Amino acid sequence: LKGIFYAAMFATIISTLNSFLFLSATTIGRDFIFRVKRNSNEENIKSYTIIGIIISGIISIIIAYLIPSVVEIWYTIGSLFIPGIIMPVISAYYPRLRISSKLIIAEIVFTVSISMMWFNFRKSLSGVLSEIEPMIIGLFVAVLIHTFGLLRKSVSLNKR
């Protein structure tokens, strides 16, 4: 009975690992490499996905080595990357909140960078500042940048 339990747990882990690996590989291959390359065509997507599998696998191994706890991995990734994508995702569903794509890219990159810097920097702080989570800092920066984009959009609409 114990063996069946272990086999079921192992099957669940491998299935989830497989799904996440292929999902991230497809995202890297199709959404990043395919769009960045100027002379891409549909025939190259398979090779881009293979490159995505390699990149995803290497990143996953590095993360698993550096952060041995699954809970800590989810916490860290969520704290660092969610602030960068929350406003673009919300604006995708609400057209009035949309800003320019260049500003969206800047928002994602800048917000994730600030969250990472705060994640590393807050360890050297003491008192209340050391208790502020990177997600809070990142969300604050994301809202600031997005608000700037909305104000810029409304000014350009009023000029027309």
Whether residues 49 and 89 share a domain: the answer is: no
Verify that 22 and 81 share a domain, yes or no. no
Looking at the fold, whether 82 and 110 belong to one and the same domain comes out as yes
The whole-chain average pLDDT of the chain stands at 91
3-28 residues labelled b (16+ CB within 10 A) or e (exposed): eeeeeeeeeeeeeeeeeeeeebbbeb
Calpha distance 87→125 (Å, rounded):
28
Asked if residue 86 and residue 36 are part of one domain, the reply reads no
Do 49 and 25 contact (CB within 8 A), yes or no? Answer: yes
pLDDT surpassing 80 at residue 38 = no
Domain boundary residue among 66, 82, 114? 66
Question: Does residue 41 sit in the same domain as residue 27?
Answer: yes
| C-alpha dist (Å) from residue 79 to 73, 82, 120, 146 | 10, 6, 12, 19
150 touches 99 (CB < 8 A): yes
pLDDT for the residue 146 = 96
Report which of 109, 73, 74 is spatially closest to residue 88, judged by C-alpha positions: 109
Q: How many domains does the chain have?
A: 2
Averaged over 78-104, what is the pLDDT? 94
Q: How far apart are CA 17 and CA 142, in angstroms?
A: 31
Please give the residue range of the domain that contains residue 101: 68-160
In the predicted model, what is the mean pLDDT of residues 45-67? 92
Q: pLDDT digits over 94-149, tens only?
A: 999 999 989 999 999 999 999 999 999 998 888 888 899 999 999 999 999 999 99
- The pTM of the full predicted model, rounded to 2 decimals, is 0.76
